[in-house]
Every structure is written in structure tokens, then in C-alpha cells.
Structure 1
Amino acid sequence: MLDHPFFPTLYAEFDFFHCSCLVREYCPGGDLLTLLQRQSDMRFSVPSAKFYAAEVLVALEYLHMMGVIYRDLKPENVLVQEDGRIMLSDFDLSLQCDVFTQAFKM
């Protein structure tokens, strides 16, 4: 459903015994938490923090336009591509807006 450079491509999904497996695009940079822990003083420079915050904001804006509520934003779910760009992952807690709207109708 999502076709945007800030979201990994899902290539396949299959069940293996009692596990559900997803084959998605590989992000060799790891996640944002790992990248943060590799920094000498355990924090990003101001330009880096602005860059990552802006990319996450653009990704969330796209999800909002697609009617998706992303409810699991944390550094472990922000993957880093080879070129330093981000990808959001882990959509298991996400909701479609129509489901969200119906849940709160009284």
C-alpha cells in the first residue's frame, strides 16, 4: 500500500512453524538507536538531528496523507539506509484512519 522511499519494500511474507516472516528491503545502516550509540558522546550533532527529524516528519506526513496512523515511533524503528536516509519500519501497531474514526464514534 505504501510506495515511498522512506518505507522498506515488502518482497514476501510467509509463515514458518509458529512464526510469521517478512522479507523486506535491507537497510545496512542499522537503526537510529544503534547509530546514536556509535556516536562518541552518545548524541547527534545539531545538523544530523535536524536531518533525521525532518526525514521522519516527511515520512509521517506521507502516512497521514495515506490515512495511516503510525503508533510505534522510536529510534529502533527508524532504519538507516546506506546513503544515510531513513526508513520507518514496524507497522504492527498502525491503524487506518477509517478504523480509528469508527472506534471513537458514539
Structure 2
Amino acid sequence: MNMSVGAAIAVLAVSLAVVAGSVAAIVSMISSLRKPGDERCRAIVQGVSATTLVFAIAILMLASVWKVVCVFALDRSFGGINPISTLAIVAVFYLVQVHRYKKKFGD
């Protein structure tokens, strides 16, 4: 299982890009929530936030169902949910929804 140096550098570069993108998405999500704006901007953020909340609840419900399946049906332990990766997924979903809502409502 020896990896060449080039392959190791490529894996490291992709990993760092994913981490940097996740951090940028999280920071962007938080900054857009804190930014004041007019009524249309607030309506967009409110709609996006509600949609993202439903998405986050769905992720947590799926993880709970998977935990039950792992423990009872497959007789193995469940390691849990990684909060950083879950937050990154929710942040990316939020940014996609912001883009979609801004395109729809024109901001």
C-alpha cells in the first residue's frame, strides 16, 4: 500500500481544499445571517434559514435511523455524527439556497 509522493501530495491538496471550502462556507453562512438588510433581504434570509433548518433536521433524523439500524439490526456500534462535517454540509446547503433565493427574488 505504498503511495507515491505525487499521489500523497494530491490527496493532501484535495483534503486541504475541502477543509478550506468548508470553513469558507461556514464563515459565509454566519456572516450572511448577521448582515443587516432591507425587507427583501431579511425575507430571503428567513426563507433560506427555514429551508436549511428542515434540511438539518432531516440529516439528524436520518442519522438517528441509521444508528437504530446499526445497533439493533446489524449488531454493531455506531460511531456518531461528526459535527464539523455536518455543519459544513449544512453550510454548503445554505449557500446553495441563498443563491437560489436571490436568483428567484432578485437581490
Judging by fraction of residues, say which structure has more strand: 1
| Greater relative CO (CA pairs within 8 A, separation 6+) | 2
Judging by fraction of residues, say which structure has more helix: 2
Shared fold (TM-score, shorter chain, > 0.5): no
TM range (shorter): 0.3 to 0.5
Q: With the length of structure 2 as denominator, give the TM-score of the two structures.
A: 0.38
Q: With the length of structure 1 as denominator, give the TM-score of the two structures.
A: 0.38
| The structure with more radius of gyration | 2
